[in-house]
Amino acid sequence: MSTVNNGPVITKNSLVLNLDASARRSFLPNSIINMDAWTVSSGSVAGYNQNGPTDENQRTATTNPWGDTDVIWGSYPNGSGDADGGWSTNGFNIDRTKLYRFSVWMKRTSSTTGGTAYLGGTAWDASQYLKRTVDSVDEPNPYWYYNNISSFTQNVWYLVVGHLYPYNTTYTGRHPDSGLYNAGSAVKVADIGGNTVGGDFKFSSTSTYAYHRVFHYYCGDNTSRLQFYDPRVDLVDGKEPSITELVNYSPARWRNLASNSINFSISSKPTYSTTAKGLFNFNGSSTFFTSPENSSFNTETFTIECWARTSSVNQNGFFFEKGTVNSQYAIFLENPNIKIRTNTAFSGLADLQFTAASYIQANVWFLVTASYNNGLKSFYINGVLLGTQTVTGGFTTNANGMSIGVYGGQTGGRGYYFNGDIANLRFYNRVLTNAEVSQNYQATKSRFGL
């Protein structure tokens, strides 16, 4: 019997934290549309054209369906009873021979119930008319869902889902996933009932693009409020996130593959990209992740590794920090060096550092690995040991959580924002051997073109 050699694999022994932008269980990839351009502001934003006047469309940083803080689009009707909030996206290209899923989260925050909530598709362009699946009749103004906002229980989020079928389908029903769901449960709580016959739609034979439309409309009072979140259009090809994933995975959280704890919140969202199978781009001025304090990270024996690509070798930017600035330990760039810093009781601040330009290049991926073993620090680039340092005394600890892309832990006083890409970050509560560090590099380098 022959043995197939699949090459080196990532060591998993004592792996406490495993964040990976390429793994759907860690972070769901963007759909055809996304919230990357959403900011705390009013009115239209890139790709999303406001429904109603600017003062009726306000985006704020508040809680999403899973209790994480993110940018939420709110409707603030002024009582005029017309267009009262929401958006119509710019047109995006589609393949009319394919099946697509449209979705958005909605919540009524007011006790009053003025107006109607809508989730709709492409409208008014005769060459792009959608047709009802049930009878193939044109719908110039199609909606999967429209209902008085009293249909939503106050302060409960609903995922509203509809499907858009290929133009040549003979199916006349509703997709089994079309309907309404609550966070944390893939059990449908209501059907969509969107158009006059309550079904899904299909493209026309001339369709080339589509819109995603979400509205609050016809509100005659100035107290009713809706919130909208995480609009998506997914190609249904077996690679799309399942309903279970959509109702359970917060877009504002980078989830830990090693356990159900130590997830990182996206405090100021980096841009997500599927380049290198998945990465986050940090802008060098405001984007970062944080996680609360966790005892697993107070160990005096650990290894941290991070795949990164920097926009500039000579920048000041943090990959990872435990605690607030200089409070415990960190790996980062501080022009002109790349380093691991520790704060110990007797040695104080101590840096094991190397000239960054000697080992890494701008816009080229590298794996930075640093370990600490009761005073002995080791530092590696691309699996190769650069050097060690010995310090004395245990850590000067600070129970202030952790951060990726900045110093400052879970609270303020932040600085040294990283400018570039981070694809994954792993933390072991033991020291990896030189061979294991090299093995992890060999196991993952092809993803990054090395």
| pLDDT tens for each residue of 176-201 | 999 999 999 999 999 997 545 568 99
CA atoms of 197 and 139, how far apart (whole Å): 11
* 8 Å CB contact between 265 and 289: yes
- In this structure, what DSSP letter does residue 245 have? H
Q: Radius of gyration (Cα) for the chain, nearest Å?
A: 25
Same fold, 15-19+252-448 and 31-248: yes
Distance CA(226)–CA(150), nearest Å, equals: 11
> 244 versus 268: which is more confidently predicted?
244
Q: Is the pLDDT of residue 408 over 70?
A: yes
3-class DSSP state of 297:
helix
- Give the integer Cα–Cα distance in Å for 60 and 225: 13
| Tokens standing for residue 59 | 């985006």
Q: Check pLDDT > 60 for residue 410.
A: yes
Mean pLDDT value across the chain: 94
**Residues with Cβ within 8 Å of residue 353, at least 6 apart in sequence:** 334, 337, 338, 339, 340
Question: What pTM, to 2 d.p., does this model score?
Answer: 0.91
Kindly give, in sequence order, each residue whose CB lies less than 8 Å from that of residue 260, ignoring residues fewer than 6 positions away: none
Mean pLDDT of the 346-360 span? 93
Domain boundaries, given as residue ranges, for the chain = 15-19+252-448, 31-248
> What's 31-248's CATH class?
mainly beta
Both structure tokens of 422: 């981070």
Q: How far apart are CA 322 and CA 46, in angstroms?
A: 35
Report the pLDDT value the prediction gives residue 196, as an integer from 0 to 100: 52
Averaged over 90-111, what is the pLDDT?
98
CA distance 397 to 400: 9
How much is the pLDDT for 198? 64
The per-residue pLDDT for 6 is 62
What pLDDT shows up at residue 197?
54
Query: What is the pLDDT averaged over residues 56-84?
Result: 96
Instruction: Calculate the CA dihedral of residues 106, 109, 110, 111 and round it to 10 degrees.
Output: 100
Mean predicted confidence (pLDDT) in 367-387? 97
Average pLDDT rounded to a whole number, residues 265-272: 85
**Is the predicted pLDDT of residue 3 greater than 50, yes or no?**
no
Does residue 124 register a pLDDT over 80?
yes
Q: Which stretch of 328-332, 341-345, 381-385 has the lowest confidence by average pLDDT?
A: 341-345
pLDDT digits (tens, 9 = 90+) for 7-47: 789 999 999 999 999 999 999 999 999 998 999 999 999 99
Q: Is the predicted pLDDT of residue 151 greater than 80, yes or no? A: yes
Size of the chain in residues:
450
CA-based end-to-end distance of the chain:
32
Q: According to CATH, what is the number of the domain 15-19+252-448?
A: 2.60.120.200
